[in-house]
């Protein structure tokens, strides 16, 4: 009785389901506690030193002013950045401007460092300013693609002095992002993380048990794709392809060959659409959007099976009206599951 009621008022049922899902969509977006309409970048200081280390007198203040970020290559886990970097310290017994190292620098031959200022300040501290440009490595976790959040990180450490001599602290007050724009990405946070770091090896130094702790500072730009990237690149085209597939549910079973041809075309379209983003995924990881495509493949396959099944039932004397009724129920089930998955991925986006 319920099935017949739903199929008699099929278009009304579809409209009601669509409005309910749209309401859920809007509710998640507007009432999610992590959602904010502000485009202001958040600056975060995650400095973490032990109390003993904090007593050191050789504190080097490090600041970064990013100018450009370009050629973000998630397949090769690299990005390029141009930025101003400055260091401020006291005393003549250290020279951090000469001993600093960017450990995730990929290609030293293409790296440029331009010295802009090297002088003493009025309060006796030393000030060094440089402009850097290079290609850097960052292992991108693509498991949540296309609603993934990434960090573009510069990792500074002193190549000579250990953390009982020198520590880096971030100059978060003077770090700005007003010149930075990354096409295709939203800038969420600027995060500094400074801490002691120890390699789990003595690196072959037989006169010591372990390598001494070093001071390390990470400067990270936290980014993610805007919602329109997820919607326009994935949801909209895939939805149109699936709706084209679902047209077969309205075709008379006298056109069974046309039904199968349309479904076959849909399967090829889904395959081609999926290939468009595979070259952006390093090591061909399984990513979040793959599950949506997996459903699309399964839905298409079930459409073929159901068409053959109902066609044989009609040949065996089953009324076509019964087949049409079940076609509508199957379509409604596919539609609801698909929209729930789309909303689930959107919810994941809002958590970033």
H/E stretch holding 68 reads strand 59-73
Instruction: Give pTM, 2 decimals.
Output: 0.81
What counts of helices (H) and strands (E) characterise the chain? 9, 10
178 and 49 in a common domain: yes
208 and 119 in a common domain: yes
143 and 85 in a common domain: yes
216 and 77 in a common domain: yes
State how far the Cα of 74 lies from the Cα of 171, in Å rounded to an integer.
29
214 and 76 in a common domain: yes
175 and 79 in a common domain: yes
Closest to 158 measured CA to CA, from 81, 217, 111: 217
37 domain residue, yes or no: no
Q: CA separation (Å) from 74 to 250, 266, 282? A: 43, 29, 6
Phi, psi (deg, nearest 5) at residue 36: -140, 145
What number of other Cβ atoms are within 10 A of residue 316's Cβ? 7
DSSP state of 209: S
Sign of the alpha-carbon torsion through 107, 170, 202, 97: positive
Which tokens belong to 281? 């995924």
* Alpha-carbon torsion angle 119, 123, 126, 132, nearest 10: -80
Full pLDDT tens readout for the chain, 352 residues: 444 544 455 556 566 666 776 676 666 556 554 444 445 788 888 887 777 666 767 899 999 999 999 999 988 899 999 999 999 999 888 899 999 999 999 988 889 999 999 999 999 999 999 999 999 999 998 889 988 999 999 999 988 887 778 889 999 999 999 889 898 898 999 999 988 776 666 666 666 555 567 888 999 999 998 877 887 888 888 888 887 777 777 778 888 888 888 888 888 889 888 888 877 776 667 888 999 999 999 988 888 888 888 888 888 888 888 888 888 788 888 888 988 898 888 888 877 7
Query: 219: which strand partners?
Result: 154, 192
CB 257 within 8 A of CB 311: no
Q: What is the pLDDT of residue 198?
A: 63
Q: What is the pLDDT of residue 333?
A: 85
143 and 68 in a common domain: yes
What number of other Cβ atoms are within 10 A of residue 275's Cβ? 9
Q: What is the pLDDT of residue 190?
A: 94
Looking at 192, 225, 258, the residue that finishes a domain is 225
DSSP state of 105: B
State how far the Cα of 110 lies from the Cα of 112, in Å rounded to an integer.
6
* Cβ within 8 Å of residue 209, ≥6 positions away: 202
CATH code of the domain in which 135 resides: 2.70.170.10
270 and 205 in a common domain: no
Say how many domains are in the chain.
2
Chain CA centroid to CA 260, Å: 37
CB 213 within 8 A of CB 162: yes
Q: What is the pLDDT of residue 320?
A: 81
Looking at 225, 258, 283, the residue that finishes a domain is 225
36 domain residue, yes or no: no
192 and 92 in a common domain: yes
Q: Parallel, antiparallel, or unpaired for β 126-137 and 59-73?
A: unpaired
Phi, psi (deg, nearest 5) at residue 192: -105, 135
116 and 63 in a common domain: yes
**Parent domain of 192:** 42-225
119 domain residue, yes or no: yes
């Amino acid at each position: 009785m319920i099935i017949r009621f739903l199929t008699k008022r099929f278009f009304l049922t579809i409209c009601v389901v669509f409005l309910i899902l749209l309401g859920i969509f809007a509710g998640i977006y507007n009432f999610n506690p992590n959602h904010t309409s502000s485009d202001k970048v958040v600056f975060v200081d995650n400095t973490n030193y032990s109390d003993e280390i904090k007593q050191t007198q050789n504190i080097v203040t490090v600041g970064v002013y990013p100018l450009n970020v370009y050629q973000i290559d998630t397949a090769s886990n690299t990005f390029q950045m141009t930025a101003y970097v400055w260091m401020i310290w006291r005393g003549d017994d250290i020279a951090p401007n000469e001993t600093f190292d960017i450990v995730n620098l990929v290609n030293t031959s293409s790296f440029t460092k331009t010295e802009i200022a090297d002088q003493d300040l009025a309060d006796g501290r030393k000030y060094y300013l440089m402009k850097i440009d290079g290609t850097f490595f960052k292992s991108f976790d693509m498991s949540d693609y296309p609603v993934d959040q990434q960090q573009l990180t510069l990792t500074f450490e002193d190549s000579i002095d250990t953390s009982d001599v020198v520590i880096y602290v971030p100059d978060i007050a003077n770090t700005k992002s007003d010149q930075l724009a990354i096409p295709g990405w939203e800038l969420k946070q600027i995060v500094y993380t400074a801490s002691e770091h120890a390699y789990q090896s003595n690196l072959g130094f037989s006169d010591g048990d372990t390598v001494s702790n070093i001071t390390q500072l990470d400067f990270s730009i936290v980014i993610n794709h805007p919602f329109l990237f997820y919607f326009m690149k994935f949801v909209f085209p895939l939805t149109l392809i699936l709706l084209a597939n679902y047209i077969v549910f309205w075709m008379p079973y006298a056109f069974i060959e046309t039904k199968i041809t349309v479904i076959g075309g849909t399967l090829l379209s889904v395959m081609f659409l999926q290939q468009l983003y595979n070259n952006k995924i390093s090591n061909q990881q399984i990513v979040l959007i793959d599950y949506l495509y997996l459903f699309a493949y399964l839905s298409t396959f079930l459409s073929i099976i159901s068409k053959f099944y109902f066609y044989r039932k009609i040949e065996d004397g089953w009324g076509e009206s019964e087949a049409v009724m079940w076609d509508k129920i199957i379509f409604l089930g596919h539609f609801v599951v698909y929209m729930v998955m789309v909303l689930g991925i959107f919810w994941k986006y809002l958590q970033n």
